[in-house]
Amino acid sequence: MIALDNIANTTAYTGSYAAWGWVGLVFYILVVVALWKVFSKAGWPGILAIIPIVNLFILVKIAGWSAWLGLLWLIPIVNVVFGILVALRVGRGFGKGGVFSFFLLWLFSVIGYFIIGFGKAAYTKPV
């Protein structure tokens, strides 16, 4: 009887993992669509938004830094600070302020990239 309960619990867990997998896939597709438009506005091929690690390095390039600095995303705690700095620089490149960049390009990045990508913001390389 205990074995049947374990099987039922395992099945329920597997079903919930599958549902969260679909949610993750939809979220990833939304991120790709938003970044595709941002990359196109910044003069980069939009198809690079599909490749998971490469899109981070392209964001660093859009921020005006060398892509080698993208390796900082691999260091714990440093990646949070570096992510905020990249968001601020990308926002500056599209003419957005610090509050917009912090909240909508770092904290709620999908919404911010949709606003930049499909809005009227024009890209100028930050100095």
The least confident of 18-22, 44-48, 116-120 is 18-22
Instruction: Provide the residue ranges of all domains of the chain, joining segments of one domain with +.
Output: 2-118
Segment 96-125, tens digit of pLDDT: 999 999 999 999 999 999 999 999 999 998
Specify whether the CB–CB gap between 44 and 38 falls below 8 A. Answer: no
Inform me whether the pLDDT recorded for 6 exceeds 90: no
The least confident of 9-23, 31-45, 87-101 is 9-23
Residue 92: what residue type?
R
Q: How confident is the model at residue 16 (pLDDT cuts 50, 70, 90)?
A: confident
Instruction: Give the Cα separation of 64 and 61 in Å (integer).
Output: 5
Specify whether the CB–CB gap between 120 and 95 falls below 8 A. Answer: no
